[in-house]
Amino acid sequence: MTDKVSTSLTTTGIKIEAEGGSASRLGHALADAISPFTELLGTLGDQVQTFRVHRHTKLLETLHRAHRIRRELGIEDSPVSTKFLVNWIEGASTEADEDNELTELWANLLAHAPKAFSSNHALFVDILRKIGPQEARIFQQMVCPEIEEDHRASVYESIYEFRDAPIGWVKHILDQAISTPIKIEKFMRNRQKIYKKLSDQFHSSGSTILEFEIYDVNKSEIGNTSAIMSMDEGYYKKFGEEETLNSFDILKHLGLVDFETHVFDIEGIVIDAKMSTFFVGASVTPFGAKFTEACIPDRAIDRKREP
């Protein structure tokens, strides 16, 4: 006889049935793992619908991780909405064994799920089902940058920062560094100082910079490799340029990030040169901040931004 585990939603809750020795052990393990998250687990009741559990062992791993998160954070075991739990079980069980980043997001989502049904959490399940490991890694790098923790903005402080503020930042920092117009040669000597100020500003705001370049428009065209100053955060090198841009497009489509390109001229800084900037970057949306709080909760801590 082939070992088989089936999982169903009933009028009284979730029903797990197992046939065969190893399947029976797995079925009992699943029942034990799911039970803290629902008051309705059992083998009773009239079946309403059968829902698919794609990888029982992966589901069990994710449930155990959610338990550990609750214990580590001192979260008391309490049931969650059955409507949410059914969709969570179906989604979490689809992940491949090697997709540890997504497993962690699924586990956090369950561990922090409220008892009452939450439309946001239902949408977060849909998002996790739609993104792949690369989108998960890119989003986590975006909200958990590799900079000193005390200099990070909280995810709520960084909402729409890249959409609303960067042009003003660049102009302000250049005005501070260069009080009167200078020749291009002097600008080049001071560019490391300017670069450091710009980098610190972008990082402390919680913005993500994929590309940032300053050009002398009289000598080059935007988009070529002859920028007189450039900076990035290594996304293209780590993930590939096309893959990174595609992942940010997906995250934007799902409502998690605001992904923008800015191009503007800088006047009154360099004598006999027309300076222009081109930069591509992103920051989280309000919905993205809520997603972070649910799935990457340590990054949603309200932390005072350094001046």
pLDDT digits (tens, 9 = 90+) for 46-72: 333 344 556 777 888 888 898 889 889
Side-chain-side CA neighbours of 197 within 13 Å: the count stands at: 15
Q: How many domains does the chain have?
A: 2
Are residues 152 and 295 located together in one domain of the fold? Answer: yes
Same-domain pairing of 285 and 147:
yes
Looking at the chain, how many residues does it have? 307
Among 42-51, 107-116, 155-164, 195-204, the minimum mean pLDDT is found in 42-51
Q: Is residue 307 part of a domain?
A: no
C-alpha dihedral, 96 to 101 to 104 to 106, nearest 10°: -60
In a domain, 306, yes or no: no
Contacts of 244 (CB under 8 A, 6+ apart): 138, 210, 235, 236
79 and 10 in a single domain? The answer is yes
Domain boundary among the residues 78, 102, 130 is at 130
**What was the pLDDT predicted at 139?**
94
91 and 151 belong to one structural domain: no
Given 65, 98, 130, the domain boundary residue is 130
Hey, which of 184-193, 200-209, 223-232, 252-261 has the most confident mean pLDDT? 252-261
Which residue, of 130, 153, 186, is where some domain finishes?
Answer: 130
The torsion angle over the Cα atoms of residues 215, 217, 218 and 219, rounded to 10 degrees, is 50
Residue 85 has what DSSP assignment? H
Residue 135, domain member (yes or no): no
Domain limits for position 84? 4-130
Same domain, 255 and 151: yes
Within a domain: residue 187?
yes
Give the model confidence (pLDDT) of 252-283 as tens digits: 999 999 998 888 888 778 887 778 888 899 99
The answer to whether residues 275 and 146 belong to one domain is yes
Same domain for 296 and 151, yes or no, is: yes
Residue 169 and residue 251 in one domain: yes
What stretch of H or E contains 140? helix 133-143
